[in-house]
């Protein structure tokens, strides 16, 4: 790892020289690229400096342990070493993730679409659980969350739920969440305590930015309106503000009832529709590449069963990287970094192996 880090950081002097040149401001595109690279390397430098400091602290404390006779001081030093080793592992994990080169799509918005699969009400309830899990994770990352649409069920779950995440490294960290998630637990309504297995699917759609915005002609769209579903009472919408939008050439259908205004719902539905059309185009390109090479690099497709959440055992298993974590409760509260970082490194290595 050290050799890779130092090799990356060797770029810093040249980058800083280029950024200090007066000519660089005449090419704004190059300036943005160099600035982004410079920011990335400075972050890596900070992590590496902290990592080396911890290594020295551990070495010093270990040396003192070997000669310390006072039991209280010895216990203190052992605790220091233990805590520092844990911090060192966390830093190493972050550094390994940083060593995966940035991608132009890393910071783009991601539309997350979660749907109940097999398992009836329990699957719908787990959709809600995963919405909360991703919300907690987004808050930890400092990302913004924008709700698009949902279809609630009577027992407090959701048939589907769609929202947008935006911020630094959103797509980099979220794209491998796409796939089938399996949950194993005893439902609250299960009188005999039998284990129930259900599934949900997660789609992670890259929202097109201004440069790649799709042009969709009005004649290719059918728009149907209806009243938004809700909890009733003061929340009941009495106008036809909910929008169902169908892209006729592809058959893609999206639905949005977030806003009370039909115009706003049309705008949100169009965003979702464009993301789905763009995602289908990317999928076609991936399939074309897969025909050329016999082994396709894993992409976290939603047809793959990627993860199992076993609540009785407090165990989370990611089937792609072969990791078992026995802290499911913390994971569901948004402490997802160990899996997320492992996936980023894992798929980068697969790309290298298949290059």
| Domain spans, the chain | 2-98, 110-212+300-354, 218-292
Dig out the tokens for 177 from the structure: 């969440």
The predicted structure's pLDDT at residue 238: 45
Coil, strand, or helix at residue 11? Answer: coil
pLDDT at 302 over 50: no
pLDDT at residue 289 above 70? no
* pLDDT tens-digit map of 178-199: 999 999 999 876 767 789 999 9
Angle of helix 28-67 relative to helix 2-9, nearest 10 degrees, comes to 140
Q: What is the dihedral of CA 102, 9, 321, 105, to 10 degrees?
A: 0
For residue 140, pLDDT over 90 is answered with yes
Q: Is pLDDT above 80 for 214?
A: no
How many Å apart are CA 194 and CA 187, to the nearest integer? 8
Q: How is domain 110-212+300-354 classified at the CATH fold level?
A: Alpha-Beta Plaits (3.30.70)
Helices 28-67, 12-19: axis angle to 10 degrees equals 140
- pLDDT for the residue 303: 52
237 pLDDT above the threshold of 60:
no
Name the least confident of 21-35, 55-69, 227-241, 260-274.
Answer: 227-241
Coil/strand/helix, residue 63 = helix
User: What average pLDDT does range 271-299 have in this prediction?
Assistant: 66
How far apart CA 292 and CA 307 sit, in angstroms, is 29
pLDDT at 32 over 70: yes
**Residues 85-102 pLDDT 10s:** 988 988 888 888 888 888
Instruction: Kindly provide the residue ranges of all beta strands, DSSP E only, lying in 90-214, ordered along the sequence.
Output: 110-116, 144-152, 158-166, 179-185, 196-206
Residue 267: band (very low, low, confident or very high) from pLDDT cuts 50, 70, 90: confident
**How confident is the model at residue 304, as a pLDDT?**
65
The answer to whether 255 touches 244, Cβ cutoff 8 Å, is: yes
230 has a pLDDT exceeding 90: no
**218-292 has the same fold as 110-212+300-354:** no
**How many angstroms separate the CA atoms of 283 and 279, rounded?**
6
Q: What single DSSP character describes residue 239?
A: S
Contacts of 129 (CB under 8 A, 6+ apart): 183, 332
Q: How many residues does the chain have?
A: 355
pLDDT at site 99: 86
Q: How far apart are CA 188 and CA 48, in angstroms?
A: 47
**What gap in Å lies between CA 323 and CA 325, rounded to an integer?**
7
* Per-residue confidence band for 259, with pLDDT thresholds at 50, 70 and 90: low
Q: Say how far apart CA 38 and CA 9 lie, in whole Å.
A: 10
**CATH no. for 218-292:** 3.30.160.20
pLDDT at 64 over 70: yes
């Amino acid at each position: 790892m050290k050799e890779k880090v130092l090799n990356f950081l060797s770029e810093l002097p040249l980058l800083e020289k280029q950024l200090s040149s007066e000519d660089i401001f005449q090419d704004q595109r190059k300036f943005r690229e160099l600035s982004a690279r410079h920011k990335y390397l400075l972050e890596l430098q900070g992590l590496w400096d902290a990592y080396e400091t911890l290594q020295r602290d551990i070495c010093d404390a270990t040396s003192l342990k070997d000669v310390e006779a006072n039991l209280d001081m010895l216990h203190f030093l052992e605790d220091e070493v233990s805590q520092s080793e844990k911090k060192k592992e966390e830093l190493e994990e972050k550094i390994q993730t940083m060593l995966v080169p940035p991608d132009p799509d890393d910071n783009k918005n991601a539309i997350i679409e979660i749907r109940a699969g097999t398992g009836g009400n329990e699957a719908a309830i787990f959709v809600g659980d995963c919405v909360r899990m991703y919300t907690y994770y987004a808050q930890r990352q400092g990302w913004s969350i924008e709700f698009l649409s949902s279809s609630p069920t009577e027992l407090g779950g959701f048939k589907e739920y769609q929202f947008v995440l935006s911020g630094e490294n959103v797509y980099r960290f979220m794209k491998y969440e796409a796939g089938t998630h399996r949950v194993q637990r005893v439902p609250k309504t299960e009188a005999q305590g039998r284990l129930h297995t259900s599934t949900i699917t997660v789609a992670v759609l890259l929202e097109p930015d201004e440069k790649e915005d799709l042009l969709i002609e009005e004649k290719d769209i059918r728009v149907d309106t209806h009243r938004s579903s809700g909890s009733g009472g003061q929340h009941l919408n009495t106008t036809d503000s909910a929008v169902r939008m169908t892209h006729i050439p592809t058959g893609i259908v999206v639905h949005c009832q977030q806003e009370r205004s039909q115009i706003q719902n049309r705008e949100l539905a169009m965003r979702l529709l464009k993301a789905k059309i763009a995602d289908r185009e990317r999928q076609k390109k991936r399939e074309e590449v897969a025909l050329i090479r016999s082994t396709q690099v894993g992409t976290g497709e939603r047809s793959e069963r990627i993860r199992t959440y076993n609540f009785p055992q407090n165990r989370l298993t990611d089937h792609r990287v072969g990791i078992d974590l026995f802290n499911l409760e913390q994971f569901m509260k948004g402490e997802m970094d160990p899996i997320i970082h492992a996936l980023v490194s894992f798929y980068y290595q697969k790309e290298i192996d298949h290059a």
